[in-house]
Structure 1
Amino acid sequence: MVRDDLYITVPSFFRCPISLDVMKSPVSLSTGVTYDRASIQRWLDSGNNTCPATMQVLQTKEFVPNRTLQRLIQIWSDSIHHHRPESPDESIHPVLSQDQVKDIVKVTDIKKEDFLSNLSMIVSFAKESDENKTFLAKLDGFVSMLVEILSNVKDVNILERVIRVLDLMLNKIDDQQQLSNLMLKSCDQDCLNSLLLVLQKQESLDARIDSLKILEFIAIDAESKLKIAEKEGLLSEILKSVSWGSDRRLIDAGLSCLIAISMPKRVKLKLINQKIITEMKKLITDPNSTVSVSEKALKVLEMLCSTKQGRSEICCDSGLAQAIVQKMLKVSGAATEHAVTILWSLCYLFRDQRAQEAVTSGNGLTKILLLMQSNCSPAVRQMSADLLKIFRVNYKSCLSSYDTKTTHIMPF
């Protein structure tokens, strides 16, 4: 007999590599990787010309529907609807119309017993389509209502659903400043208290990821970044999310949040004092780290290099400096740029002897030479040239000794 709980496990290849949600309209790129149509279309419309999963440059931006996978997803979805036991929290809600949503918002009272059910139906409505997300984002008073709930309710079940709706709407909210002001305006910062509560409870991985995305979204200026970072207990919870061994999606969201809030020097010093550099080393040396995690961990280290304390900690660990050297040619163009910027800052801008020795012992000069033969950006090429000057290498004469047929070498 087949157990019911097997039906609620989502096969990994049913999830879109970008949104991580079950694909509604799977389409395949020329690289053979399949994405949900809406997600990959947004990626391409943003000016990208690579496959997000493999970072291969696309020969064509056309994609074709993956009908076989769509049928498999439909069969799986039908089996869930048929076999999955219903419960008050997991029952399948009917999809509301826009008029019905308006009516719910008008009469919503956060003290009513049926509020949780209404909120669950709004979550289902938002997940249905981009059009519905846009409708909610523009619905008069709806965003303010969600912020009010975050400020006044401490029921984790309700908070998780409010946070879910907000996360679904983020890309559709036109006035980012207004949402930031609404959530951070109170002296007690009740919204931050609620986000902290969800992060601390750790009852739902998705809710924690959504909370981190919201924090990233509202960290739009120095004042908001400081308010988030200096909220007691919040920075520690964000750091826990990027701890080695955590869920990869959680690590990715946590790193994005850290990058968003880490511009002020006070925040960087707090992170350094809480041993973030040690965690970043674990992530960039982990062979199982995703491209995105490696890129963002290097970006965090690049930002910390602007402080004396950050440079000192990185240079004190020769293993970390050598790991950064290794990442120059092995991950992606973005990772290369972050790695070179870190080394340029340490070795050229601040002339740290320990960092220079780590680059030399890690065969860094050869990698820099290979990098300059690649199709790297002008900024990376200039920083590489500066690094070679520091090591007193005449790179033009060195390159002339190479067989010209090796100029096709590409680092990634």
Structure 2
Amino acid sequence: MEGLEIPSHFLCPISLEMMRDPVTLPTGITYDRQSIEGWLFDRKQSTCPATRQQLPADVAVTPNHTLRRLIQAWCTLHSSDGVERIPTPRLPIGQDQVAALLDAAARPSTQVDALRKLRQISAESERNRRCVAATPGAVDALARVIILSAASSDTEIDQDLILTSNSTACDEALVVLQSLQISGDQLLDLVARNGNLVGSLTAVLRRSNHQSRSYAILILKSVLAVVSPTRLMSLPQELFDEVVGVIRDGVSPQATKAALRALAGACPWGRNRAKAVAAGAVHAMVELLLEEPERRTCEATLAALASVCGSAEGRAELVRHQAAVAVVSKKILRVSQLASEKAVRILHQLARHAATAALLREMAQVGAVMKLCMVVQAGVGGKTEERAREILRMHARTWRNSPCVSPLFTNGFSTSK
């Protein structure tokens, strides 16, 4: 296809690529369906990209069958040049079809097949996912499948076939529910109507199936981000045990980040820091940092660790790990600005609330003091530099003879700023 010029009227005005499913707006302009639906869904006030003309909120696009056939004929004509013929697109899914699949999913004999079809159509396009989410009762039906499956797995049942069927249905429902990207308000309403959802997701995390655990933690992270502080304060120890288990087991990179963000969001409330420490969160996160994770995972780990270290239990557990101070210090000025800010915050918590003579010696030996001096000398500004200066001031007497600290004191650091 190299060197072959595609007719300009075959190109989508948004993507500038050949259209596979051309559709026309009421303004008369034709676009590829995926491109224009993405444009319309991402904007609260719909406009035509080419004319900037305002469109109604419920604007409908019309398939341009004539243009599609011309594009297909052109592709066939140039097949010898390596052009592949575009397939005839499927008709978009409608809410009546989604409702029919949900009805089938409510019957044990057709549940798994119906959920698999729902998963397939949800994976096809953003439009289909929005259609599923907008279908009345859809998200509640998916939540009920998860809740009933978790309830049956907690009951002593000898019928392995039933358990397997429930588990499979739950897996399919998890995939669909997670893909819908439900808004915060919708999630709150969903949890209010399905009070056992958090407990059921926790039960799914106990499974050995990594895929199920991955989707469950992604949904759980979103739920914990929107529920009330009162609800967060009442989270059970079991939830923290299972969330930490996702980190420790390396279920998937995406699941690990979701678990870390769930911890960081939940820890500030009630006794959650102590629950996280009891679950082994500090050890799991330090071990993760030792594996040199990619930037975003490193940032999420340090953020969660800083949150846990807001408690005496968290700080004591961190100091107890022989590699903790060294690996946290290593991330300063090495990963990102955010990672440096979180790492310095952790050291600040230790230096302020857990500064034993042994800890201060360790900070000097593993290079933490040198990194703090570098933060000050680099003038990074903000809370990061402020905390670094405060740590050095607090323990100036102990570190005054350190090769990296002494020049700062010579230059009047102890009285500056």
How would you bin the TM-score normalised by the shorter chain? 0.5 to 0.7
Q: Which has the larger radius of gyration?
A: 2
TM (norm. structure 1) is 0.65
Who is 2:298 aligned against? 294
Structure 1 residue 181 corresponds to structure 2 residue 187:
no
Who is 1:202 aligned against? 208
Q: Does structure 1 conserve the Cα–Cα contact (< 8 Å) formed by 2:217 and 2:259?
A: yes
Structure 1 residue 149 corresponds to structure 2 residue 145:
yes
Within 5 Å, which residues of 2 pair with 1:15-164? 97-104=93-100, 107-108=103-104, 110-153=106-149, 154=152, 155-164=166-175
Who is 2:313 aligned against? 309
2:301 and 2:324 map into 1 onto residues whose CA distance is 12
Who is 1:236 aligned against? 241
Q: Secondary structure at the match of 1:214?
A: helix
Matched to 1:294, the amino acid is C
Q: Does structure 1 conserve the Cα–Cα contact (< 8 Å) formed by 2:102 and 2:138?
A: no
Matched to 2:121, the amino acid is F
Matched to 1:148, the amino acid is R
Q: CA deviation at 1:210?
A: 1.0
Question: Of 213, 216, 221, which residue of structure 1 is paired with 2:218?
Answer: 213
Structure 1 residues 140 and 312: alpha-carbon distance in aligned structure 2, compared to 1, 3 A threshold: same
CA RMSD of aligned residues (A): 3.3
1:149 and 1:95 map into 2 onto residues whose CA distance is 28
Who is 1:376 aligned against? 380
Matched to 2:106, the amino acid is I
Q: CA deviation at 1:303?
A: 1.1
Q: Does structure 2 conserve the Cα–Cα contact (< 8 Å) formed by 1:348 and 1:386?
A: no
Q: Secondary structure at the match of 1:242?
A: helix
Q: CA deviation at 1:216?
A: 1.2
1:103 and 1:245 map into 2 onto residues whose CA distance is 37
1:226 and 1:101 map into 2 onto residues whose CA distance is 41
Q: CA deviation at 1:369?
A: 2.6
Who is 2:178 aligned against? 167
Q: CA deviation at 1:246?
A: 4.9
Q: Does structure 2 conserve the Cα–Cα contact (< 8 Å) formed by 1:199 and 1:211?
A: yes
Give CA-to-partner distance per residue, 1:113-136, whole Å, 9 cap, x none. 222222112112222222322232
Q: Does structure 1 conserve the Cα–Cα contact (< 8 Å) formed by 2:329 and 2:343?
A: yes
Q: CA deviation at 1:100?
A: 4.5
Q: CA deviation at 1:262?
A: 2.1
Question: Of 257, 265, 269, which residue of structure 2 is paired with 1:260?
Answer: 265
Q: Does structure 1 conserve the Cα–Cα contact (< 8 Å) formed by 2:214 and 2:254?
A: yes
Who is 2:86 aligned against? none
Q: CA deviation at 1:355?
A: 3.3
Q: Does structure 2 conserve the Cα–Cα contact (< 8 Å) formed by 1:265 and 1:307?
A: no
Q: Does structure 2 conserve the Cα–Cα contact (< 8 Å) formed by 1:318 and 1:354?
A: no
Q: CA deviation at 1:334?
A: 1.7
2:115 and 2:141 map into 1 onto residues whose CA distance is 12
1:235 and 1:311 map into 2 onto residues whose CA distance is 18
Question: Of 285, 288, 295, which residue of structure 2 is paired with 1:283?
Answer: 288
TM (norm. structure 2) is 0.64
Structure 1 residues 173 and 133: alpha-carbon distance in aligned structure 2, compared to 1, 3 A threshold: farther
Q: Secondary structure at the match of 1:243?
A: helix
Q: Identity over the aligned pairs, expressed in percent?
A: 17
Q: Secondary structure at the match of 1:306?
A: coil
Q: CA deviation at 1:197?
A: 4.0
Q: CA deviation at 1:342?
A: 0.7
2:231 and 2:181 map into 1 onto residues whose CA distance is 17
Matched to 2:372, the amino acid is I
Q: Does structure 2 conserve the Cα–Cα contact (< 8 Å) formed by 1:244 and 1:279?
A: no
Structure 1 residue 335 corresponds to structure 2 residue 339:
yes
